[in-house]
Amino acid sequence: MPHITCVILAAGKGTRMKSDLPKVMHHLAGQPLIDHVLAKTQMLGIEDVITIVGHGRDMVIEHIADRSDIVVQEEQLGTGHALKQAVPKLKDNSCVLVLSGDQPLLSLNTLTSLLKQHQSSGAAATVLTAVMEDPYGYGRIIKKDGVFQGIVEEKDASPEQKEIKEINTGTYCFQGRELKMALQLIKPQNAQGEYYLTDVFDVLLNSGQKIEIVCTKDKTEALGINNRCQLAEAEEIIYDQIRKYWMMEGVTIINPSSVIIDARVKIGKDVIIHPFTIIKGTTTIAEHSIIGPGTFLENCTCLQGCHIEYSVAKEAIIGEDCLIGPYAYLRPGTVLAKGVKVGDFVEIKNSRIGEGSKIPHLSYIGDSELGKKVNIGAGTITCNYDGKQKHRTVIGDNAFVGSNTNFVAPVEIGKNSVIGAGSTITKDVPDNSLAVERSPQKIINNWLKAKDN
């Protein structure tokens, strides 16, 4: 195989997105569009990747600079003009694979067969096409007696040409030398006044070069994202692929269409995912866990056998065999050891909870460190914020905290100590002791009668 250079076109404004965000930075299954395209080049093992950036370039460059060489297209004068910017970096004898930053669904199989076909045919260029039921908006493949004649854009097409269902996916292979020559000769003579990349095929045909076509079997792969309806359509397709992938890997998903799993999520076997669950970012879920119904996880690590229902967790580590929910809220920095129970209406933030500890109802635990087998009574609050600074609460192993306790941080509670219900604890409590902070209960006998007199 000759050297392959991949050029990704990603400079366009994405006018049809009607957005302040560059088109390729719009998210699809939890990642910007451009990441899906870059991931394909990595999977193909292509090391020489050039991305053409322009509109909103600072944001795009910052996001991809570690994965791609960058070429700037100062003015966005069309796809042909965009590719032309990379010419000084293209070698005559290399194969140039051109991808669009807005075409995230192409499969590895399809790209591999495009590259193979291109190499074995020895053509100057190979165009990846697809047959669409509704080809509106795409460039149409013009053929005569089955032989490729060129590509006509929607805006330049005659009514008869608009009837053609075979479309240009915007993905191509070129011989470096021929591509560089043809790019010098294209002109902006069309309805949009742009330098069309698709015009290089006219130049190549006129100079007697051979052009091949590879038609994708799965037309959904060719979907280009130009507006938010197409973004939603692509997302539906990719989420379906992701669910099917994990089901084939041994994950049970109940009512799959109500479950969303992002592209980078990892799930172990025998995990069960119940309906209306959203798993985002870089979340990993280990074997035998049960997630949902109604659960939202973002960038979390869930160890083996945890059970989470009707809860929200972000950047939390949930230990083995933990029981979470219903209605728990685990915020960033939460680290739960093995067998922790977090029950209903409990919020935890930036806290470590030791093995076997329980926080079953109606609590806020923030900036805290709980030892092993601590029991937190209902309604316990760590008062971690004094209006200016956050302070820590430390609770030792086996401590038993009565219901409705306030811990005014900073405060430290010793091992095996007991806190009487309703206490507001402002001072440290030594090991093995009882702390109660409560006014003595008064009894006024015959209260009703006493009032009447």
Give the span between the Cα atoms of 164 and 136, in whole angstroms: 10
Please state, in angstroms and as integers, the Cα–Cα distance from residue 251 to each residue in 81, 246, 290, 318, following that order. 47, 6, 10, 19
Cβ proximity to ligand UD1: between 170 and 268 the closer is: 170
Residues that bind ligand UD1 (CB under 6 A): 9-12, 52, 54, 73, 76-79, 81-82, 100-103, 138-139, 151, 153, 167-170, 196-198, 224, 226
Please state, in angstroms and as integers, the Cα–Cα distance from residue 193 to each residue in 15, 74, 78, 187, following that order. 16, 17, 8, 9
Burial category of 158 from C-beta neighbours within 10 Å (exposed 0-12, middle 13-18, buried 19 and up): exposed
Beta carbons of 268 and 252 less than 8 angstroms apart: no
Q: What is the dihedral of CA 280, 281, 287, 293, to 10 degrees?
A: -10
Minimal CB distance to ligand UD1: which residue? 139
26 among known catalytic residues = no
Cβ proximity to Ca ion: between 101 and 414 the closer is: 101
Rounded least distance, CB 10 to Ca ion, Å: 11
- What separation, in Å, do the N-terminal and C-terminal C-alpha atoms of the chain show? 105
Considering CB distances under 5 to 8 angstroms, the limit depending on partner class, which of ligand UD1, Ca ion, none binds residue 435?
none
DSSP-based three-state secondary structure for 401: strand
Rounded least distance, CB 101 to Ca ion, Å: 9
- Residues ≥6 apart with Cβ < 8 Å to 370: 351, 352, 353, 354, 357, 376, 395
Using alpha carbons only, how large is the chain's radius of gyration in Å? 31
Please state, in angstroms and as integers, the Cα–Cα distance from residue 165 to each residue in 130, 139, 141, 177, following that order. 8, 10, 8, 31
Rounded least distance, CB 212 to ligand UD1, Å: 17
- What are the structure tokens assigned to 190, written together? 């069309």
Cβ proximity to ligand UD1: between 76 and 220 the closer is: 76
Cβ proximity to ligand UD1: between 58 and 452 the closer is: 58
Considering CB distances under 5 to 8 angstroms, the limit depending on partner class, which of Ca ion, ligand UD1, none binds residue 10?
ligand UD1
Give the span between the Cα atoms of 412 and 394, in whole angstroms: 5
- Residues ≥6 apart with Cβ < 8 Å to 240: 256, 257
Kindly give the pairing relationship between strand 352-353 and strand 335-336.
Answer: parallel
Considering CB distances under 5 to 8 angstroms, the limit depending on partner class, which of ligand UD1, Ca ion, none binds residue 138?
ligand UD1
Considering CB distances under 5 to 8 angstroms, the limit depending on partner class, which of Ca ion, ligand UD1, none binds residue 398?
none
Considering CB distances under 5 to 8 angstroms, the limit depending on partner class, which of Ca ion, ligand UD1, none binds residue 105?
none
Cβ proximity to ligand UD1: between 139 and 414 the closer is: 139
Considering CB distances under 5 to 8 angstroms, the limit depending on partner class, which of Ca ion, ligand UD1, none binds residue 329?
none
Rounded least distance, CB 154 to ligand UD1, Å: 8
Rounded least distance, CB 335 to ligand UD1, Å: 41
Alpha helices in 210-324 (DSSP H): 228-248
Encoded amino acid at 197, one letter = L
Beta carbons of 312 and 296 less than 8 angstroms apart: yes
Cβ proximity to ligand UD1: between 127 and 300 the closer is: 127
φ/ψ of 206, rounded to 5, equals -65, -30
Residues that bind Ca ion (CB under 5 A): 102, 224, 226
Smallest Cα–Cα separation from 225: which of 242, 238, 212, 207? Answer: 238
Considering CB distances under 5 to 8 angstroms, the limit depending on partner class, which of ligand UD1, Ca ion, none binds residue 324?
none
Rounded least distance, CB 101 to ligand UD1, Å: 4
Cβ proximity to Ca ion: between 15 and 424 the closer is: 15
Q: Which of 55, 118, 274, 361 is catalytic?
A: 361
Rounded least distance, CB 384 to ligand UD1, Å: 47
- What are the structure tokens assigned to 448, written together? 């009703």
Residues marked as catalytic: 361
